[in-house]
Amino acid sequence: MEKIKQNPIVKKLGFNRIVLFGVLLLMYLLFCILSDNFAGLPRILSTLNYAYFLGFLALGVTFVIATGGIDFSIGPVMFCAALVSGYCLNSYGVPMVLSLIISVLVGALFGTFNGYLVAYWSVPPFIVSMASMNIAKGVASVFTKTQSVSWPQGVSEQGWFRKFVKVGNFPVGLLIFLAFAIICSIILNKTKAGRYILSLGSNKEAVRLSGVNIKKWEMLAYVICGTLVGIAAIFYVAAYTTVQPGYGDTYNNEAIAGCVMGGTSMAGGLASIGGTVIGVFIIALLQEGILALHFTKDYQLIITGLIVIVAVYADVVARRKKN
């Protein structure tokens, strides 16, 4: 076992991530065996649809968790972004391109709001994000007058944005998502921002006393998160068309579950984008499999809830061992 862990290729990819990928494959096989019609392209495409928006949420929240913070507003903010921009599109005749930009901006705005309060006012992230979760829901309802918003179908003139997800049966979304994941990984591991975000997650005071403007970098993590949440909204509506105000909280847990399962530590300082990506696929597959086996969504809630607890506990145990 130790020998395998020391193998340079294994080291590069990360032993835990390889195991996690194995879990993903096993789960897929399991669902194929348990459900007659699981194997095949339709289920895979449907799983991917779920993985895209969830993936962007999880990528975003990875940055926040890396600082030692948390964001429980990502799901509702995603819905808020989709609703506000969709309402602009439908009711005010805003062009599609601009609507998509509005979606990203709404996400970024919430990220900036959260980040500013956390970094500059030292309000605990838990409180800030809980509050802005409700604010996002409220803003969306007020803006849309509590009506659901439907985005244009693929066949319509404005339906071109759905090509972000797939062209024919080709999953374009997968390429875009992976490209973003790679960019996030580069930001986290190769840039100043990533270095400081991870470092301040590990020991904020030491980084501050090194003469680093920690407030700026801590806030940036939330802004990055919010921006990715805004992008997640686009992928959500491109896959599912209709958004209803007042929802979105369940995705918080799923995104955070994907993130911590992938090896990002809730205590901050450690983060793995690759792990988050695999974690998200596992959650998406779980959702698809549970539906295929004719269970209700409730079971998925239970399972993702448990996954978060188990993953965080595993991190706690690993830390204890190290000390």
179 near another protein, judged by CB under 8 A: no
Classify 190 in phi/psi space as left (phi over 0), alpha (psi -120 to 50) or beta.
alpha
What lies within 8 Å, CB to CB, of 234 at 6+ separation is 82, 100, 103, 104, 161, 164
Distance CA 108, CA 223 (A): 6
User: Among 29, 33, 186, 316, which residue interacts with another protein (rule: CB under 8 A)?
Assistant: 186
Q: What distances in angstroms separate CA 182 from CA 11, 133, 170, 207, one per listed residue?
A: 18, 28, 20, 26
195 near another protein, judged by CB under 8 A: yes
User: Among 46, 203, 241, 244, which residue interacts with another protein (rule: CB under 8 A)?
Assistant: 203
For residue 72, the minimal CB distance to another protein (Å) is 25
- Stretch of 67-75, 115-123, 185-193, 273-281 lying at the interface with another protein (CB under 8 A): 185-193
Burial class for 18, CB neighbours closer than 10 Å (0-12, 13-18, 19+): middle
16 near another protein, judged by CB under 8 A: no
CB nearer to another protein: give 168 or 211.
Answer: 211
CB nearer to another protein: give 132 or 276.
Answer: 276
- Which residue in 53, 71, 75 sits closest to 61, CA to CA? 71
192 near another protein, judged by CB under 8 A: yes
For residue 212, the minimal CB distance to another protein (Å) is 7
Longest Cα–Cα distance of the chain, Å, equals: 62
Strand partners, 242: 150
| Backbone φ and ψ of 320, nearest 5° | -60, -40
What do you get for the CA distance between the two ends of the chain, in Å?
A: 22
91 near another protein, judged by CB under 8 A: no
- How many residues appear in the chain? 323
Structural tokens at position 8: 């340079």
191 near another protein, judged by CB under 8 A: yes
CB nearer to another protein: give 145 or 321.
Answer: 321
For residue 155, the minimal CB distance to another protein (Å) is 41
> What residues from 303 to 322 belong to the interface with another protein (CB under 8 A)?
322
11 near another protein, judged by CB under 8 A: no
> What residues from 205 to 224 belong to the interface with another protein (CB under 8 A)?
205-213
Specify whether the CB–CB gap between 214 and 83 falls below 8 A.
Answer: no
- Stretch of 86-94, 128-136, 155-163, 202-210 lying at the interface with another protein (CB under 8 A): 202-210
User: Among 198, 234, 238, 290, which residue interacts with another protein (rule: CB under 8 A)?
Assistant: 198
**Kind of pairing between the strands at 149-150 and 242-243:** antiparallel
CB nearer to another protein: give 35 or 203.
Answer: 203
> What residues from 263 to 302 belong to the interface with another protein (CB under 8 A)?
269-270
What is the size of the binding site for another protein (CB under 8 A)?
A: 22
Q: What is the 8-class DSSP label of residue 170?
A: B
Q: How many CB atoms lie within 10 A of CB 8?
A: 7
Q: Which residues make up the interface to another protein (CB under 8 A)?
A: 186, 190-192, 195-196, 198-199, 202-203, 205-213, 269-270, 322
